[in-house]
Structures are given as C-alpha cells and as structure tokens.
Structure 1
C-alpha cells in the first residue's frame, strides 16, 4: 500500500477496503468505532501540551466516556487498527499493538504488577482478539495470532497460533487469522 495515505486513511481502509477522501472519512464517523479511531489518531498527531493537543485530548476524554473505549494516545498502535464492535474496551497506555490488528468489545489489554511476566503486552501484526479476551503482563504475542473470545492470556504466544480458553491453550495454525482480518494494509 502507498505511503501517500495517512494513518487515519489506513485505519478506515480496513473497514471498507476502499481508500476514502477526508470528506468520506468524516461521513463514516457516524460509526462509533471509526469515530473513536479518528479522534484517537488526531490526538496522536499533536503534542500533549500544544493548543490543538489539549483540544483533541478533551474531545478524546469525552468520547472515551461516551463509547466506553479506554484507549490513550500514548498507546503505540500500528496502521490498520480496527475495532470490531462498540462496547467496553481497556488498553493500557504502555501496551504496543502492531499493524492490521482487530480488537472486539470487552477486551482488556493490561499490565501485570508482579511475577515473571510483570509489565505490559506487546502484540504483533495481524492479531485478532475476540470478545471479552484478556491479555495481560509483559508478554509478547507473535504475528498472525487469533485469540478466541473469553481467552485469558498471560504468557508469550508464538506467531501462527490460535489461543483458546482460560487457562489459555495454544494451537499452532499457519493461517490462524485468515478470514478474520480483512483489507490488510
């Protein structure tokens, strides 16, 4: 895909598979998921202590409460970010998320405060995280990983895997996210 497209355009491309103009993007903001991503990316464009940065932080805070998405501008999120459904979602600001990742409602990506995996998750590219899944700790999730709904993941997951259950079980699968992640960047 071309470097001429903005980060926002790349995120919105994931929803429709079409490159949209600025006007078309704004029109799609009727969708709460896309609206929130738009506001989040605008926050990431401006320094926190600038006038525009302060404005977009205020707008983001309002929409965090309105939509139930607890995602902060400090969170490193790759291009092609996609929120599957509207609903409560918590992502720690120190977590790192790769490109072309899908996250469903009810997901928690958080820190672990003690033990072997103390810290924050690093999530690879093309990861699909299902409804109500929990990913916690200083762990690494590889590329092309499908985390099934309601899974509890608190240990490293290799690339090309499907993760299910609580406690989580890992199953190797070469095309783990095929059919789950559409319109890749």
Structure 2
C-alpha cells in the first residue's frame, strides 16, 4: 500500500511540475518537448529521488544521483536541500543549491543562480527562499539569510543581507529598488507601481537597467 501511495504522490508531483513549467515558460511546447528538452525539469526530478534517498539514510546513493544530475543537466542541488513544489529552473546551466538551503513553493530560478554559504560552518549556512520568489540569472545569495515571499532578486545581484517580502533587490551588494506589485490584467501594468516598474522588468533576468541609479532611492 505504501508503494502505491508513493507512486500516486509521484504522479501528482510530476503533473504539478509540468504545469508549472508550462505556466512560466511561453516557449514550452508539447509534452514530448517538456519531457526531453528541459534540463531544469530533469534536475528537479532527479533531486527529488535523491532527497528521498538522503532522508532514508542512503546518503552515498543520494550524492551519486546528484552528481548524475550535475553532469547531465548542469544543475547541482544537494540532496539534503529542501526544495518546495512547483519550482521552475529555467535553462538550468550553472544553478547550485547548497545542502542547508530551503526553497519555497512556486519559485522561479534562472540559470547561474547560486544559493551558497559565506563560510564553511556547521548548522544552517545557506539561504532560505520564500514562496513566489524570482531569482534572476547569475544571482548569488549567500549565507543563512531569508529572501521573503514574493521577492525578486535581479540578474547578477549578490545578496548577503535578508530581503523583505515583495522587495526587488539588485546590484553588488544587492540593494532594494522598489516593491513588486500585482499586474492588472486589463492594462498589463503593475497595480500601484511607480516609474520603477519598467526598471524591474529590465533587471529581473539580466541585471540591466543601471541599478546604481536607484542606490539612493
């Protein structure tokens, strides 16, 4: 019975992951394309198996699986990390998630993102990323800090301090440039967003938009 329960849960998780990738990536094609051409998806599935092995005490098998994922997808997620549901790793190459990192639900991670530590100490040493967070390309988040729900980390940002919920940070070291806002579907504009909304669009994935202009805002 337990095996059947695990199989049913795995099927639900696979459907969730496929749905999340379809929602976050307009270029997602057929089911066949998703299953064969999305290394971020493959890395997540291998991680989930490795995580179960790690939790069951099969640490060597878990580490071997994580290395298989790294070699085949370019994504390295330590099997001890805690990664939530409906996480999307877009492109995938160069993503590194450390052993004590925690990633919430519905998080979007672009290529080159590192969730690392600042010093090799025992205990919690990697970031905690909340729900609905977006981590832009080549962003680096270091140490046992928290990135709050709904926050955005701009491309190439280096984050060493906690990020408040709903805040966008950019630069090195990362600094807030504003808060994110829900989008009004009738206008396509952020509700309550000021002149910085366009800047947020430009910085979210590639770090453009001259973040230094906002350093003193």
| Cα offset, 1:152, TM superposition | 0.7
Out of 40, 43, 50, the residue aligned to residue 33 of structure 1 is 40
Q: Which has the higher contact order (CA 8 A, sep 6+)?
A: 1
TM-score of the aligned structures, taking structure 1 as reference length: 0.77
Out of 161, 166, 169, the residue aligned to residue 160 of structure 1 is 166
Cα distance in 2 for partners of 1:176, 1:108 equals 27
Which structure 1 residue ranges, 5 or more long, are not aligned? 18-23, 181-185
Asked if 2 retains the 8 angstrom alpha-carbon contact of 1:132 and 1:149, the reply is yes
Give the helix-richer structure, 1 or 2: 2
Cα distance in 2 for partners of 1:38, 1:84 equals 14
Please give the per-residue CA displacement for 1:121-174, whole angstroms capped at 9, x wherever unaligned.
Answer: 111101100111110011111000111101110001100111111121113314
| Cα offset, 1:12, TM superposition | 2.1
Asked if 2 retains the 8 angstrom alpha-carbon contact of 1:146 and 1:176, the reply is no
* Alpha-carbon distance change, 37 to 170 in structure 1, aligned in 2, over 3 angstroms: same
TM-score of the aligned structures, taking structure 2 as reference length: 0.66
What's the RMSD between the two structures over aligned residues? 3.0
* 1:111 alignment partner in structure 2: 117
Out of 9, 13, 17, the residue aligned to residue 15 of structure 2 is 9
Residues matched between the structures, number? 166
Out of 141, 144, 153, the residue aligned to residue 135 of structure 1 is 141
